[in-house]
Amino acid sequence: MIRERIIVFDTTLRDGEQSPGCSMNLDEKVRMARELETLGVDVIEAGFPVASEGDFVAVKAVAAQCRVAKVAALCRTAEQDVARAAEALKAAAHPRIHTFVATSDIHLQHKLRKSRQEVLEMTRESVRLARDFAEDVEFSAEDATRSDVDYLCEVLSVAVDSGATVLNVPDTVGYTTPGEFSQLVQTVKQRVVGERQVTISVHCHNDLGLAVANTLAAIEAGARQVECTINGIGERAGNASLEEIVMALHVRSDQLPFETGVITRELYPASQLLCAIVGFEVQPNKAIVGRNAFAHEAGIHQHGVINNPLCYEIMTPESVGVAANQLVLGKHSGRHALSLRYAELGFQLNPTELDAAYNSFTALADRKKRIYDQDLISLLLPPVRSRSAKTVVDTGVSRIAATV
Ligand code: KIV
Ligand code: ZN
C-alpha cells in the first residue's frame, strides 16, 4: 500500500514554551532541538524572535544547530517582525519563515482593530517580504475555525498568490469538531489550493480534548503537515500531542495510510527530556508516554498480559522507547502477578502458601495505597520467608512493581 508522507512540524519550543511553567533557557532549547532532530521531526519551530532578545538568540542557536530538520521562526504580519525572524534564521540550513495574522471577526474587531481589507493587505505584504528572505514561507490564519469561510479562503488565496508554500489552518481556541474541521480542510483544498503545489497544514489546540482527533480528521481531508508538541504542551489545554498523532498513524495504518519520518522508539526519551526540562511529569494516564500507559493492575488484565501482551496492549512498550510493561500490584491484582513477583524476589510459593499470601496481600492492599517489595516479604509466614537467600533490593526496574 502506498503511504503518503505527513510532515511533522513540532512547535514544542514555540507554542509549547508559551504555556505556563514551560519556559526554557537557551541551553534547554538547544538540547530539546537536538532531541527533536534525533526523533525525526521535519520542522522545528524554534521561537518568536521579535518577542524577546532571549527568543531571538534561541532561534539563532537552534538554526545554527539543526542541519537536517527545517527550522521555523514565527512572526506577525509586520515588517520588523518578518525581518527579525529572517535575521534569526540566517545560519539555518533549511529556514522557514512562519507569518500569521488572525482572520476571525472577533480577533479583527477586539484584538487587531483592523478591517478585513487591511488584514488582506497585511497578508500580501508580509508573505511577499518573507519570500524575499526565504524560499519556504508558511502563512497561518489565526482563529481560522471561527472565521467566515469565504473571507478565510480569500486571505489564504492572497497568501498563496504572494508566495506562501504552506497554508496553516489553526484551530486556535480548540473549538472545532472532527467532522466540521474535515469539511473546512476540504473547502480550503478545493477553493484555495486546487492544482497548486501548496501544503495544507493544521494546528489544533486541545480546549475540548479534540486536538488529536481533529488533526487526524484533517489528514484524511487532505492536510499534509501537522503541527504538534511533545507531551501536548502549549497554550491553555495545550496543542495536539505529537506522540499520539504519530502512534495513531503507526498503529492504525490500516485505516490511515500515511507515514511520518518519526522514529517511534525515540518518543519516550523525548517526552522524558521535556519533563526534566520543564520540571513536571505528564499525567499518569497520558496516552503513549504516561506512567500508566503500559501498566496493568487488574487481575484479569495481568493474567491476559502474562499469557500474551496482545490481550491488552495495541503497541509494544519498546516501540515507543519504554523499557517494558509493568504489572502493578494493587487491590485489583490476581494470584498470577503476585506469584510472579514473589518468584522474582526469590520465593517459589506452593499453592497453599500462595493462597495465604494472596489473602494477606488483598487485605493489605485495601488499607494501603503503596505496597513495596518489603511489604510482600513481610506477608509471608516465617518458614517461607526464611527460604530465600536473595537480598531484596527494590530497584524499581522490575516488570512487576509492588507499588500501587
Ligand atoms: O494557535 C495558533 O493559532 C497559533 C498560530 C500562531 C499558528 O499558534
Ligand atoms: Zn497555537
pLDDT, tens digit (0-9, with 9 covering 90-100), for 274-297: 999 999 999 999 999 999 999 999
Q: Measured between alpha carbons, how far is 181 from 45 in angstroms, rounded to an integer?
A: 23
Which residues neighbour 344 within 8 Å (Cβ) at sequence distance 6 or greater?
398, 400
What is the chain's Cα-based Rg? 26
CB-CB contact of 288 with 244 (8 Å): yes
pLDDT score at 402:
58
The finding on whether 229 has its CB within 6 A of some atom of ligand 1 is no
Gap from CA of 129 to ligand 2 centroid (Å): 23
CB-CB contact of 230 with 274 (8 Å): yes
pLDDT score at 393:
40
Q: Answer whether residue 249 shows pLDDT above 80.
A: yes
Residues with CB under 5 A from ligand 2 (ion): 15
Gap from CA of 102 to ligand 2 centroid (Å): 12
The finding on whether 100 has its CB within 6 A of some atom of ligand 1 is yes
Which set of grid coordinates corresponds to residue 184?
473546512
What rounded mean pLDDT belongs to the chain? 94
pLDDT in tens, 6-19: 999 999 999 999 99
The residue-averaged pLDDT of 73-100 equals 98
Which set of grid coordinates corresponds to residue 146?
471561527
The finding on whether 140 has its CB within 6 A of some atom of ligand 1 is yes
Cα dihedral sign for 90, 122, 170, 223? Answer: negative
Residue that is written with C-alpha cell 532578545 in the block: 53
The finding on whether 172 has its CB within 6 A of some atom of ligand 1 is yes
Which set of grid coordinates corresponds to residue 185?
480542510
For residue 271, report the phi and psi dihedrals to the nearest 5 degrees: -65, -45
For residue 67, report the phi and psi dihedrals to the nearest 5 degrees: -105, -15
Q: Answer whether residue 36 shows pLDDT above 90.
A: yes
The residue-averaged pLDDT of 103-119 equals 98
Q: Measured between alpha carbons, how far is 123 from 101 in angstroms, rounded to an integer?
A: 7
pLDDT in tens, 314-324: 999 999 999 99
Find the ligand nearest to 202 CA: 1
Nearest ligand 1 atom, CA 144: 3
Q: Answer whether residue 398 shows pLDDT above 70.
A: no
pLDDT in tens, 47-72: 999 999 999 999 999 999 999 999 99
For a pLDDT cut of 90, what percent of the chain falls above it? 91
pLDDT score at 385:
75
| 50-to-31, 73, 134, 281 alpha-carbon distances in Å | 22, 10, 17, 30
pLDDT score at 400:
66
Q: Answer whether residue 395 shows pLDDT above 70.
A: no
- DSSP-based helix, strand, coil % in the chain, nearest 5: 50, 15, 35
* DSSP alpha helix (H) spans, 74-163: 79-88, 105-107, 116-133, 149-161
Q: Answer whether residue 41 shows pLDDT above 90.
A: yes
Binned at pLDDT 50, 70 and 90, residue 218 comes out as very high
The finding on whether 15 has its CB within 6 A of some atom of ligand 1 is yes
pLDDT score at 258:
98
Which set of grid coordinates corresponds to residue 216?
487526524
CB-CB contact of 143 with 107 (8 Å): yes
Binned at pLDDT 50, 70 and 90, residue 392 comes out as very low
Which set of grid coordinates corresponds to residue 250?
503507526
